[in-house]
């Protein structure tokens, strides 16, 4: 099954999936194996720590999809072995890194990719990792002509590319965007689904580390953005910790999306464009659930600050998340019946209006929706981000550590996602 060819003479594959035996990595492999218009002409391989586990995973996917995968190149690489990482990266045009938590295992892979002049994408939703990579490696990546692009999954394509989509459709001046996110199970599956997990423990671990990293992030952002934070007029105010929108209750979203979008808009500002303000909120089921959510978030925040209690929370995800996260991950039935909807409410001015003298007089609402946010949308996002790098580099900046919005705003990524499972639309 392995091609026994020296690294020096081996041609580069279009894609290599690192961490291919993990929950998300296997989903990427399965999607590629099933084929389709975007995937049938690709050359690709899989990589991870264990040759035995990789061979078993390929055999399992082959059986599941009915496809002959005997030609798939298998590469053994370990985040603790820099030589193996460089050899892996040297065999890929684009590396898809599914090996997290990224704050623990991501940096050696980024460094190896830059050294090998291999483009890099991942599905991280970890601000500390992403912003550290920008601070440390942006210059090296630009000099090497390499793209290092994180958050190419459900974190944070719907919001980051959603703001880009709204900007593309807007005629006039867009001042601010408020995002209202929700995930929900199909009505006929709701009762059954509520008793099963919806995400795996890797995502849980990233979430808990995200809580514990808040103080480090404050220091990091002062280095990453040494100039004053962007000033806006009129300024978008953060809504209260609990508020209603369209008769539903929302709380501030604790994920990475806000600062991913900020990094995109920060780059736009220094490219001479007017940046867009952004806030993001998440829908809860009821006022009672919202209050319970706030109490649970505060409890987990405190627990995450001390290593002993943090490790306890990480090691028992099912108990501390009330069954939402498990080490086994969700069943196929659950993930295929889970939906997402993100509504982006943009406010600003019509074309030709003096923005300094006239109150905002235009509102537009974009909606990004789809099925299976944790794994289906994430797989589509990272795969099509990688494919866009392969096919549309002439429409992208000249390398660097970038967000999806900064990297892909002039490409057809939104159109490709729309054709393959995402739905981008203007609804108002």
Of all residues in the chain, what percent carry a pLDDT higher than 70?
Answer: 91
* Same domain as 325, residue 187: yes
The residue-averaged pLDDT of 238-252 equals 88
Lowest-confidence segment of 60-69, 246-255, 288-297, 374-383 by average pLDDT: 288-297
* Same domain as 66, residue 37: yes
Residue pair 68/36 in contact by the 8 Å Cβ criterion: no
Q: What is the pLDDT of residue 2?
A: 41
The helix/strand count (H/E) of the chain reads as 17, 16
* Same domain as 301, residue 205: yes
- pLDDT 10s digits, 248-288: 989 899 889 999 999 999 998 888 889 999 999 999 877 77
Q: What is the pLDDT of residue 168?
A: 96
Label residues 387-407 b or e (16+ Cβ within 10 Å = b).
bbbeebbeebbebbbbbbbbb
Q: What is the pLDDT of residue 207?
A: 75
Q: Give the pLDDT band of residue 195 (cuts 50, 70, 90).
A: low
Nearest alpha-carbon partner for 401 in 115, 164, 206, 114: 114
> Residue 24 and residue 13: Cα distance in Å, rounded?
20
Asked which of 107, 128, 149 is the last residue of a domain, the reply is 149
* Same domain as 346, residue 223: yes
Q: What is the pLDDT of residue 3?
A: 43
Q: What's the total number of domains in the chain?
A: 2
* Same domain as 420, residue 349: yes
Pairing of strands 362-371, 423-426: antiparallel
- pLDDT 10s digits, 352-363: 999 989 999 999
Question: pTM value?
Answer: 0.90
The residue-averaged pLDDT of 209-229 equals 80
Residue with tokens 């061979």: 55
Lowest-confidence segment of 85-99, 186-200, 234-248, 384-398 by average pLDDT: 186-200
Host domain of residue 266: 157-373+413-426
Q: Is 21 helix (H, G, I), strand (E, B) or coil?
A: coil
> Residue 128 and residue 221: Cα distance in Å, rounded?
9
Q: What is the pLDDT of residue 4?
A: 37
Q: Give the pLDDT band of residue 409 (cuts 50, 70, 90).
A: very high
* Same domain as 208, residue 241: yes
> Residue 266 and residue 135: Cα distance in Å, rounded?
14
Half-sphere exposure at residue 186, Cβ-oriented, CA atoms within 13 angstroms = 11
Lowest-confidence segment of 101-110, 168-177, 186-195, 349-358 by average pLDDT: 186-195
The backbone torsions φ and ψ at residue 284, rounded to the nearest 5 degrees and listed phi first, read -110, 165
* Same domain as 184, residue 89: no
pLDDT top residue among 378 and 7: 378
Nearest alpha-carbon partner for 206 in 332, 86, 321: 321
- pLDDT 10s digits, 143-188: 999 999 999 999 899 999 999 999 999 999 999 999 999 998 877 7
238 domain residue, yes or no: yes
Q: What is the pLDDT of residue 88?
A: 98
pLDDT top residue among 232 and 387: 387
* Same domain as 80, residue 49: yes
Model confidence at 134: pLDDT above 60 = yes
Model confidence at 198: pLDDT above 70 = no
127: left (phi over 0), alpha (psi -120 to 50) or beta: alpha
Asked which of 128, 149, 170 is the last residue of a domain, the reply is 149
112 domain residue, yes or no: yes
Residue with tokens 């909606």: 367
Model confidence at 351: pLDDT above 90 = yes
Q: The dihedral of CA 242, 246, 248, 254: what is its sign?
A: negative
**Which residues lie below 8 Å from residue 270, measured CB to CB, with a gap of 6+?**
none
CATH number at residue 40: 3.40.50.720
392 domain residue, yes or no: no
Model confidence at 411: pLDDT above 90 = yes
The backbone torsions φ and ψ at residue 363, rounded to the nearest 5 degrees and listed phi first, read -130, 140
* Same domain as 70, residue 219: no
1 domain residue, yes or no: no
């Amino acid at each position: 099954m392995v091609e026994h060819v020296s690294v020096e003479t081996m041609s580069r594959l279009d894609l290599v999936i690192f961490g291919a035996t993990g929950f998300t990595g296997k989903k990427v492999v399965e999607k590629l194996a099933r084929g389709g218009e975007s995937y049938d002409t690709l050359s690709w391989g899989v990589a991870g720590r264990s040759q035995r586990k990789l061979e078993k995973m390929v055999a399992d996917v082959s059986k599941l999809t009915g496809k002959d995968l005997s030609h798939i190149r298998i590469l053994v690489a370990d985040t603790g072995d820099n030589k193996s990482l460089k050899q892996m990266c040297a065999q890929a045009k684009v590396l898809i890194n599914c090996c997290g938590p990224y704050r623990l295992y991501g940096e050696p892979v980024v460094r190896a990719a830059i050294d090998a002049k291999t483009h890099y994408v991942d599905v991280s939703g970890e601000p500390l990792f992403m912003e550290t990579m920008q601070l440390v490696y942006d210059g090296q990546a630009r000099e090497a002509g390499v793209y290092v692009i994180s958050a190419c999954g459900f974190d944070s394509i719907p919001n980051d590319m959603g703001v880009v989509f709204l900007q593309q459709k807007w005629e006039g001046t867009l001042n601010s965007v408020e995002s209202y996110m929700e995930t929900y199970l199909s009505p006929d599956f709701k009762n059954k689904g509520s008793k099963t997990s919806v995400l795996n423990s890797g995502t849980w671990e990233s979430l808990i580390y995200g809580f514990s990293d808040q103080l480090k992030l404050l220091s990091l952002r002062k280095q990453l953005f040494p100039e004053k934070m962007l000033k806006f007029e009129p300024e978008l105010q953060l809504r209260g910790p609990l508020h209603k929108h369209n008769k539903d209750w929302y709380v501030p979203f604790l994920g990475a999306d806000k600062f991913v979008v900020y990094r995109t808009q920060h780059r736009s500002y220094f490219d001479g464009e007017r940046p867009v303000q952004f806030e993001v909120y998440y829908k809860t089921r009821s006022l009672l659930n919202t209050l319970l959510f706030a109490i649970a978030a505060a409890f987990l925040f405190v627990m995450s600050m001390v290593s002993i209690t943090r490790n306890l929370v990480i090691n028992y995800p099912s108990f501390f998340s009330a069954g939402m996260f498990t080490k086994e991950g969700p069943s196929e039935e659950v993930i295929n019946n889970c939906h997402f909807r993100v509504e982006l409410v943009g406010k600003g001015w019509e074309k030709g209006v003096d923005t300094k003298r006239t109150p905002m007089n235009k509102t537009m609402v974009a909606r990004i929706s789809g099925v299976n946010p944790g794994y289906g949308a994430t797989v589509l996002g990272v795969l099509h981000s990688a494919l866009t790098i392969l096919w549309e580099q002439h429409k992208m900046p000249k390398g660097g550590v970038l967000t999806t919005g900064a990297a892909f705003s002039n490409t057809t990524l939104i159109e490709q996602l729309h054709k393959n499972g995402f739905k981008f639309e203007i609804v108002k």
